[in-house]
Structure 1
Amino acid sequence: MANGVGESILQTFKDSWGSIEEESLTILQKMIRLDTQNFGEDGNETLAAKYIKELFDNAGVECSDILEAKPGRGNLVARVRGDGSSGLGPVLLSAHLDTVHAPTENWEQEGWKHNPFGAEIDEEDGCLYGRGTVDMKNMAAMSISVLLFLKRHNIKLSRDLIFAAVADEERHDAKYGAKYLVESHPDLIEADIVMTELGAFSNHLDGKEFFPIQFAEKGACLIKITARGPGGHGSVYHKDNPVVDISEVCVTLNKQKLPHRLTEAAKYTIWEISKLLSWHKGMVFRTIMSPKIEPWLMEYLLTEEQANVFGPMLHNTANTTIVQAGDQVNQIPSTASVIVDCRVLPGITVEQVQDDLKSVIGPEKFKAQDGCQAKLELEILANGEGFAQDPNEPVLAGILQTLGQVISRRSGGSPIAPYLLIGRTDQAQYMCHPKRKPICLGFSPVRVPDSIKFSTLFHGVNERIPVDGFKWGLGVLAESVLELCSASLGK
């Protein structure tokens, strides 16, 4: 290890690492077997929080009570205190305990190779299967193991290390999880650095391995579009059927992208990715930033998977998710509506998103004409802003350099690439801390072979993690923490 982590702690790290890896894998398997699916208002993250608290209590790790904004929606915060010699605030590791849905029975019929809550290791591919293996009980298990290692071996830190196990990330507002902690228990999670999903997973481009680390993410906005009409009996013709109008909205948004918008975060991401390519390929790839060339590049040069990653970095996206109309088979409804899940580029306002939607659907449809009401109405249901940090800012640049050095040492020289996440995580909640706005990074390391398309595992059938890749990530996370917290061996 470099940058102040001495030989004595390095030897301690090596001597005990095999047992730590196996214990961490066991912790992950036990957590997978705990059903913590998020059903909106209902969930049972407390089940996992109790298990984690028992581990920490038995090891003497400082730990909060289980914190619930609502019964069953448990959160937990643990801490290994440093001596404060660095003068720096804590490093916070965060992992959500909830998962999206998966079948608890008849799982074979839905395409699962193994029981989603069985935590079985497949002998053929060496992967641990189960809901939450990458999203994101793996980060919880790794973080737990790091804190246990520090406590058991009396490792001295120059700053505090915090672990937050949170509920309710899989819902758009996270109101029972990270948001609840930020609003109701801010002192427990006040930190200089937050590391959570999504980043430090191996990726491959042009035959080269690299590890993206998230420094920015898009926001999320739910918009309801409603069509109105006179309604009437199902036996006669109707020119103004709101079901037809809403159907046309759905078709339009499915076929046509919202306007091209180049943000600084996207520009930085594209430049960093282009550096991984040969000179001429990098030059061609950077032309994706041109609104005139981008459509052609997406269609003819990029793979579908690449287009699905880089396209949303250059556009606000709008996907129709819930359609509501009539409730009687022989009656034309007077209203029909669709909810649109919009993912919004950092720095873009809600008003700009509305303008984008109207420009694609047709602005005239949202205007009253000839004394008649507008054909369509638009309503903002919820809005969570994205964020972007400056990766060239000295403190953040130094952190990225440290993380990059650890990954390079443990991967045989593979580089990192800071990037804009097209989804949304709990980082947006931590950014709203009332006392201290932390540096937030997607850093939940795992190494996967090129044969596994990592992005498809999230929320998907046969969610899984390579066991070797999980153990590799555990080592990267532990070493990164030791570096950032200037660890030393206690007496």
Structure 2
Amino acid sequence: MKRLAVGLAVLLASFPAQAQDNEALRSLYQELVETDTSITTGSCTALADKVEVRLRAAGYGDADITRFAVPDHPKEGGLVVVLPGTSKTLKPILLLGHIDVVAAKREDWTRDPYKLVEEKGYFWGRGTADMKALDAIWIDTMLRLKLGKAKLKRTLKLALTCGEETSWAFNGAKWLAENKPDLIAAEFALNEGGGGRTDGKGKLLTANLHVGEKTAVNYRIEATNPGGHSSAPVKDNAIYELSDALVKVREFEFPLMMTDTTKAYFARAGAARGDDMGKAMIALAANPGDKAAEAIVNTDKAFHSMLRTTCVATLIDGGHANNALPQRAGANINCRIFPGVSAEAVRDELVRVIADPRMTVTLPELRGPLARPVPLDPKIVKPIEKLLAKHRPGVPLVPMMSTGATDGVFLEAIGIPSYGPPGTYSDPDGNGTHGLNERLAVDALYSGRAFLFELVTVLGNQD
């Protein structure tokens, strides 16, 4: 409590002067990025402590802030903050953000992953893109509205949660949906997954509205063997069998599938490009059976994933001694399943592809509920289109299905549709998300702040 009190005193003196400029956002963003919230070496709870200091400095009190955690995951806590609206009949809006990040090793990165570095027009660091930029914008929005004594018609809620990036962690969004549904109840949520895409040279080609997503499912494939002494090797080796199976998984291509959302995406995004890729995207939207167009579109890894279920090996383990034949070898296969396809159907397909009775393919557990279809609600789409014309003239709004997984599935399971609005944006290479040297364009943060703050106020005053 003493640490909180000291922080409050400092921030109370500085907030009013900072609230109207980008320096306040940059300071907040830096604090978020430089607080390690990975499952291995970090703490979401520590970051939630720092955010709470800022919220209280802006005027939020005990009645507005709810902290949550569970005893067996003390470092994976989060918070919910509520800004009451003036209407007693309009349903609230929920802003959702996960504050945990994928682990990063300093020895692998060019720069310290847990130091915010501004260089070459980008912010560099773990979480700069996924998703601490949007977290910072959501927190900044709540602070600015409170400091400005703004009164939106709708109540505005912000939930900052942990566990989105790690299937075995405590997932705050899931916990809230199952244990505190009234606390986060809302007509809809604004979440990650949207944004925009550049041509790789700084020109924004499309602004994306995330509507729906794939389901993330992990499978374990495993080979077992009696083993033996390594001085007398045999070809019947669990590691070799696993290797053979992994090659088959690598070479297998799930069939192309499309929804109305993905057809609209390829048609509109293709029209915005004007190159060979754009022509192929348009052709594929018009005729999903066009193999020549599919071959071109497949050369882009993001587009390839948007067209089908994908499965990839992400972890391996095996053996028990340097001088013994392996008795067991296994791998985790992470699949992103196209909407409408069951987890069991994908498991059966993996069994068929591997075609080796010595291998087992199991489904340890589902991360959460299957993703549900989300409607393209005009009450959300039209304000976004209007604001986009103001902030990014000529850039089309493109509805898209996310190939990743978000915590929106837990909200949709309790009747809260989740949308990923445009605002920030990324380059075609994915900006190092989940990989090395993650980055976000400096302009993406600041222009995203302006767009999303206005969007929240417009939606918050909408009947």
Assess same fold via TM > 0.5.
yes
Equivalence for 1:471? 446
Choose 141-150 or 55-64, whichever is displaced more.
Answer: 55-64
| CA shift digits 1:205-232 (9 cap, x unpaired) | 9976211111011111111122234433
**Residue 132 (structure 1) aligned with residue 127 (structure 2):** yes
How far, CA to CA, are the matches of 2:155 and 2:198 in structure 1? 31
Equivalence for 2:148? 153
- Counterpart code for 1:73: E
**Residue 377 (structure 1) aligned with residue 382 (structure 2):** no
**Residue 192 (structure 1) aligned with residue 187 (structure 2):** yes
- Counterpart code for 1:266: T
SS of equivalent to 2:137: helix
Superposition deviation, residue 483 in structure 1: 0.8
Decide whether the 8 Å contact of 2:216 with 2:336 is kept in 1.
yes
Decide whether the 8 Å contact of 1:344 with 1:386 is kept in 2.
no
Equivalence for 1:44? 43
Superposed counterparts of 1:365-404, under 5 Å: 365=356, 374-383=357-366, 384-392=368-376, 396-404=377-385
- After TM superposition, the score normalised by the length of structure 2 is 0.86
**Residue 180 (structure 1) aligned with residue 180 (structure 2):** no
Decide whether the 8 Å contact of 1:265 with 1:388 is kept in 2.
no
Equivalence for 1:110? 108
How far, CA to CA, are the matches of 1:201 and 1:110 in structure 2? 28
Which residue of 389, 392, 399 maps to 1:418?
399
Q: 1:252 to 1:188 in 2, by over 3 A?
A: same
Decide whether the 8 Å contact of 1:136 with 1:197 is kept in 2.
yes
SS of equivalent to 2:75: coil
Choose 374-383 or 90-99, whichever is displaced more.
Answer: 374-383
Choose 70-79 or 380-389, whichever is displaced more.
Answer: 380-389
Equivalence for 1:12? none
How far, CA to CA, are the matches of 1:457 and 1:430 in structure 2? 27
Superposed counterparts of 1:315-326, under 5 Å: 315-326=308-319
Q: 1:287 to 1:178 in 2, by over 3 A?
A: same
**Residue 54 (structure 1) aligned with residue 53 (structure 2):** yes
Superposed counterparts of 1:165-176, under 5 Å: 165-172=160-167, 175-176=170-171
Q: 1:35 to 1:82 in 2, by over 3 A?
A: same
Aligned pair count reads 441
Equivalence for 1:20? 21
How far, CA to CA, are the matches of 2:373 and 2:200 in structure 1? 25
Superposition deviation, residue 468 in structure 1: 2.7
Percent identical pairs in the alignment equals 27
Q: 1:138 to 1:281 in 2, by over 3 A?
A: closer
SS of equivalent to 2:410: helix
How far, CA to CA, are the matches of 1:233 and 1:411 in structure 2? 67
**Residue 82 (structure 1) aligned with residue 85 (structure 2):** yes
SS of equivalent to 1:89: coil
Decide whether the 8 Å contact of 2:197 with 2:428 is kept in 1.
no
Where structure 2 has 5 or more consecutive residues not aligned to the other structure, the ranges are 1-16
Equivalence for 1:439? 417
How far, CA to CA, are the matches of 1:342 and 1:378 in structure 2? 13
Superposition deviation, residue 375 in structure 1: 2.1
Q: 1:466 to 1:282 in 2, by over 3 A?
A: closer
Equivalence for 2:94? 92
Superposition deviation, residue 121 in structure 1: 2.3
Decide whether the 8 Å contact of 2:215 with 2:370 is kept in 1.
yes
How far, CA to CA, are the matches of 1:381 and 1:116 in structure 2? 32
Q: 1:177 to 1:311 in 2, by over 3 A?
A: same
SS of equivalent to 1:337: strand
Decide whether the 8 Å contact of 2:19 with 2:144 is kept in 1.
no
Q: 1:388 to 1:275 in 2, by over 3 A?
A: farther
RMSD of the TM alignment (CA)?
Answer: 2.9
- Counterpart code for 1:441: Y
Equivalence for 2:13? none
Which residue of 118, 122, 135 maps to 1:121?
118
Superposed counterparts of 1:265-414, under 5 Å: 265-276=261-272, 284-288=280-284, 293-294=290-291, 296-299=292-295, 301-302=296-297, 304=299, 306=300, 308-362=301-355, 365=356, 374-383=357-366, 384-392=368-376, 396-414=377-395
How far, CA to CA, are the matches of 1:388 and 1:265 in structure 2? 13
Decide whether the 8 Å contact of 1:217 with 1:386 is kept in 2.
no
Superposition deviation, residue 350 in structure 1: 1.5
Choose 24-33 or 418-427, whichever is displaced more.
Answer: 24-33
SS of equivalent to 2:445: helix
Which residue of 424, 429, 432 maps to 1:457?
432
Where structure 1 has 5 or more consecutive residues not aligned to the other structure, the ranges are 1-15, 366-373
How far, CA to CA, are the matches of 1:302 and 1:48 in structure 2? 40
| CA shift digits 1:259-306 (9 cap, x unpaired) | 333444433433443443569976642444667544x4454x3474x2
Decide whether the 8 Å contact of 1:81 with 1:161 is kept in 2.
yes
Equivalence for 2:10? none
- Counterpart code for 1:56: L
Decide whether the 8 Å contact of 2:66 with 2:81 is kept in 1.
no
Equivalence for 1:6? none
SS of equivalent to 1:201: strand
SS of equivalent to 2:196: coil
SS of equivalent to 1:404: helix
Superposition deviation, residue 404 in structure 1: 2.0
Equivalence for 1:221? 217
Choose 280-289 or 187-196, whichever is displaced more.
Answer: 280-289
- Counterpart code for 2:80: V
Q: 1:467 to 1:321 in 2, by over 3 A?
A: closer
How far, CA to CA, are the matches of 1:342 and 1:219 in structure 2? 8
| CA shift digits 1:401-429 (9 cap, x unpaired) | 21122122111231110101111111112
Decide whether the 8 Å contact of 1:46 with 1:66 is kept in 2.
no
Superposition deviation, residue 50 in structure 1: 1.0
| CA shift digits 1:100-131 (9 cap, x unpaired) | 1223xxx4x5342x432222322xx2322222
